[in-house]
Amino acid sequence: MKITLRDIAKMAGVSHMTVSRVINHDSMVRPEIRKKVMDVIEECDYTPNMSARALNSGETKVMGVLVLYDPEEFPAYFLTTILVGISSLLTKDEYHLSLHFDQLHKVRNLVPGHLLTDNRMDGLFVISAENNEFLLERLSAIRLPIVVVNQQVPMSGVSCIDSDEYSGAYAITTHLLRNGRRRIGFIGGTPSYNSTNMRQRGYEAALVDFGLRSDPALCGVGYFSSTGGREAAKKIIALQAGVDAIFAASDLMAVGAMSAVYEAGLTIPGDIALAGFDDNEFSKAAYPPLTTVRKNRSQMGVEAAQAMLDILARKKAGGAPLVVRKTLPTELVVRESSGSALTG
Amino acid sequence: MKITLRDIAKMAGVSHMTVSRVINHDSMVRPEIRKKVMDVIEECDYTPNMSARALNSGETKVMGVLVLYDPEEFPAYFLTTILVGISSLLTKDEYHLSLHFDQLHKVRNLVPGHLLTDNRMDGLFVISAENNEFLLERLSAIRLPIVVVNQQVPMSGVSCIDSDEYSGAYAITTHLLRNGRRRIGFIGGTPSYNSTNMRQRGYEAALVDFGLRSDPALCGVGYFSSTGGREAAKKIIALQAGVDAIFAASDLMAVGAMSAVYEAGLTIPGDIALAGFDDNEFSKAAYPPLTTVRKNRSQMGVEAAQAMLDILARKKAGGAPLVVRKTLPTELVVRESSGSALTG
DNA sequence: TATAGTGATGTTACCGGTAACAGAAAAATA
DNA sequence: TATTTTTCTGTTACCGGTAACATCACTATA
C-alpha cells in the first residue's frame, strides 16, 4: 500500500541504501544516479517513514508541551502565543509539537505507553502557573529534558524561562505613584499562582520605595477572572477609603474592575486610575485603553525552544547536562486608564 | 541504555513474546507469569517504544492539527478552546495531538519527511478561516483522513464541523429589531473569511424578514481587530444617519466599536445598542456587558474528534470512507449592551 | 604492470516491537 | 493409559529505515 524506500530502489534500479543516501543528502552518490532516484521519489510522492527512522536513531523529532492549568482559569490567549513562539523555532529543525493538557496524573501510568514517557518525544515543555510539590516531584521523575515555561521553579537544576513580573509590577505601580496616586488598591489573582505572588511583591516594593505601605484592606483577590476582578473592585470601592487607583494583576480582572468603577458612578482615570497586567488583545480596546505590563509571550516561547535545542545539542555531544534559566524583561505599556502623563 | 521488552523478558525469565502479551492484555498468559512480568515492568519503569509499535501497526496514534490563520488575526482564545475539546476526547484513546501552524506551503515538500505527510499522524484536523482554492487543492492532495474544523468547505467529500453562524447572526439581528432598533449598522471581519460572509448574510436576512433592507453605508469592515472595529464604528457614527444599533461580527470588534461610541459622547445601549459575536472571555466583562452569540468551541472540538475517530474506525473496518458534516447550533447571549428586554 | 587508494554501490544486520506459526504442557476425552 | 484437544509459551520473520562493513570499479602511485 504505502511506498517504501525499497520500492523506490526497485523502481530506480538501485539498492535501497542508495535511496537512503539520496534522501539523507549523503554525498556518496553519483549525480546521475541521484537524479534518477529523485525523479522516482517525486513521481511517487515518497516520504520516509518517521517511525522507522525514530526506531533506530532514538530521536523522535517530537517535542511535548504539557499544559498544567485549571481549565477554569485557563489563559487561552496567552497559551497560544507561547505555542506559536515555540513552534516557530522548532519547525525549522523539523520538530513536531505534541500538545497535552493536564495529564499530570498520568505521567507515570506506564503500561499503556501512550503517555508522557520517554519514548514519544525528545523533550518536554511544561507550562504551569503553580509550582506545588506535586509538580516538582513529578518533574524530577521524568527522564526527559524539560524546560519550564512561564515560571521560575525553585530547583536550580531545572531549566526555565519566565518573565520579570516582579519588575513589571514594580514599574506599573511606580507609574501610578508618579502620576500622583497614593491610595492604590491591588487585586491579586489565584493565590497559589506564582505570578500572583510576584506581581503583589512588585506592587508592595514600589509602595515601600515611595515611602508608603500597602494597606491590606485595599488588597483583594480576583482569581484572574473578570467577575473576580469586578467583585474585588466593588469591595475596595465600597470601603470609601479614598482609593485613587487600582492595579489589577491581570487585564481581565482590570476590565472587570472597570465595570465596578463605572457602576459606582466614578470616572477612569479621573476618580480612579486603573492598571492591568498582560497586555491582552482586548486591553487596548477597553474604554479607556488600559495601561498594562506587556509580557512578550511569543518571545518566551522562542527562548524556551532555543533553550531546549541547546540542551539537546549538549546532550547529544555527551557534555554535562545544560541548565538554562532566563528571565525575560517585561515592558510597561502606558495608555489612558492610568491618568495623565508623568508629572515627574 | 533504555529498557526494552527483551530486557524485561530476560529479567523475568520468559520470552519476549510473553512480555508483549502481558502489556497488550492478551489473555493467553498464566496469571502467575503475568504477575511476575508485571512486577519486573513496574520495577524498571518500562514503557513500550511507540516508534516500534507504529512501525509495524502503521498506526502512529498521533493526530495532527493544522492551524491556518494569519498570525495577525489569530484567534488565540478560540483556538485553545477547540484544542482542549479535541484533546479531551482523543486522550481517552491514547492519541497525541501534534500542532502545526500555517505550514501549508510545506505540505508537499516531501524529502525531508518531517512535515505533514502521511507517516507521522493518523489523521489531520484543519482549523482555517478561509476556504480558498489553494487550501482546497492542498487538502485533496493529502492522503490522510481530514476533518475541517470551524468552517464548512464546499467539497461534499470532505468532513467538517462548524457552527451555525448564519442563524446566530440572524438571531442577534432579530433580537435588536425586536428591541425596537431599525437602523442597524454592521461591522464585518476580514472579507475573505467564511464567517464574515455567514454573519453578514444572517444579518441581512433578518432585516429582510423584518421588511427592511441593509444599507451599504451602514456596513463597515473591521478585519476582526479591535482597532478595525473602532474605526469602522467611527465612520458609521460620523454619517449621522440615525444609527441606533451596531452588530459587529466579533466581540473584539464590538469592544472597539464601544470605544468609538463613547468617544462620540453617546451612550450604550441608550443611543446605540451594541452586539458582538463569539462570546469571548472578556465580552461579559465589558461595560456594559456585551450581547453576543456563543459558539460552543469546545464542543466543536469534541465533535471533530469524534468524527475523526469514527472515520478511522470505518477505515479500519474496511468500509466505504465515512464523511461527517455537522453544523452545531449557536446560542444568543443577551446582555445589557443590546438594550431593554424583548418588547414583543 | 602491479598495488594501493579512493569513490560509489551493495549486503547484512539491527533498532523494538508484533504477527504467525511451532512446540510444549496441561486438560479433556476415549 | 493413550490420544485428542486446549491452553499456554517460544521461535522466527518482518515493519522501514540506518550503520557498518564488503565489494567493485576506477584512478593514482610505485
**How much is the mean pLDDT over chain B?**
88
Pick B73 or B130 by higher pLDDT. B130
Shortest alpha-carbon distance between residue B176 and chain A (Å): 23
Whole-number pLDDT of residue A281: 82
AA letter at B29: V
Grouping H, G, I as helix, E, B as strand and the rest as coil, residue A223 is coil
Q: Is the peptide bond before B288 cis (omega within 30 degrees of 0)?
A: yes
pLDDT in tens, B31-56: 899 999 999 998 988 889 999 999 98
Chain A hits for B37, CB-CB cut-off 8 Å, are none
The nearest CA of chain B is from the CA of A143 a distance in Å of 11
Instruction: Give B-chain residues touching A117 at CB under 8 angstroms.
Output: 47
Amino acid A27 CA to nucleotide C6 C1' distance, rounded Å: 14
A319 CA – C21 C1', rounded, Å: 47
Contact B255 A286 (CB under 8 A): yes
How many CB contacts within 8 angstroms connect chain A with chain B? 201
β-pair type (B123-128, B62-68): parallel
Q: Residue A106's pLDDT band (boundaries 50, 70, 90)?
A: very low
Residues of A in contact with B302 (CB under 8 A): none
Residue A205, pLDDT score: 98
Give the whole-number percent of chain A exceeding pLDDT 70: 90
The predicted pLDDT at position B181 comes to 96
For B196-251, the pLDDT digits (tens) are: 999 999 999 999 999 999 999 999 999 999 999 999 999 999 999 899 999 999 99
The answer to whether the beta carbons of residues A188 and A196 sit under 8 Å apart is: yes
Strand nucleotide closest to residue B53 (CA to C1') = C17
Encode pLDDT of A283-310 as tens digits: 888 999 999 999 999 999 999 999 999 9
pLDDT value, residue B168: 98
Q: Which pLDDT belongs to residue B1?
A: 66
Percent of chain A at pLDDT exceeding 90: 68
Tens of pLDDT along A201-255?
A: 999 999 999 999 999 999 999 999 999 999 999 999 999 989 999 999 999 999 9
Chain D bases closer than 7 A to any CB of the protein: 7-12, 14-20
Tally the C-alpha atoms within 13 A of residue A92's C-alpha that lie toward its C-beta.
9
pLDDT beyond 70 at A61:
yes
Q: What is the mean pLDDT of residues B259-285?
A: 93
Cβ neighbours of B2 (radius 10 Å): 11
Shortest Cα–Cα distance, A10 to chain B (Å) = 18
**Residues B304-331: pLDDT tens digits?**
999 999 999 999 888 899 999 999 999 9
Q: What is the percent of chain B where pLDDT is above 70?
A: 90
Residue A338 — φ and ψ, nearest 5°?
-95, 5
Find the nucleotide nearest B32 (Cα to C1′). D8
Tens of pLDDT, residue by residue over B280-295, are 888 888 999 999 999 9
Residue of chain A nearest B69, judged by CA positions = A84
- Work out the widest C-alpha separation in chain A, in whole angstroms: 88
Best residue of B3, B51, B335 to probe chain A, by most A CBs closer than 10 Å: B51
Nearest CA in chain A to B5: A111
Least Cα distance to A161 among A300, A302, A313 occurs for A300
Q: Do B2 and A48 touch (CB under 8 A)?
A: no
Q: Which amino acid is at A17?
A: M
In sign, the C-alpha dihedral spanning A45, A46, A48, A51 is: positive
The secondary structure of B232-270 as a DSSP string is HHHHHHHTTS---EEEESSHHHHHHHHHHHHHTT--TTT
Cis peptide preceding A112, ω within 30 of 0: no
Which residues of chain A have a CB within 8 Å of the CB of B95?
A: 114
Rg over CA atoms, chain B = 26
Whole-number pLDDT of residue B73? 65
Neighboring chain A residues of B84 at a CB cutoff of 8 Å = 71, 74, 101
- A6 CB neighbours strand C below 7 A: no
- Of residues A54, A100, A255, nearest to B282 (C-beta): A255
Model confidence band, residue A52 (pLDDT cutoffs 50, 70, 90): very high
| Nearest Cβ partner for B226 among A42, A98, A284 | A284
Nearest to residue B188, comparing CAs of B223, B156, B157?
Answer: B223
Check pLDDT > 60 for residue B104: no
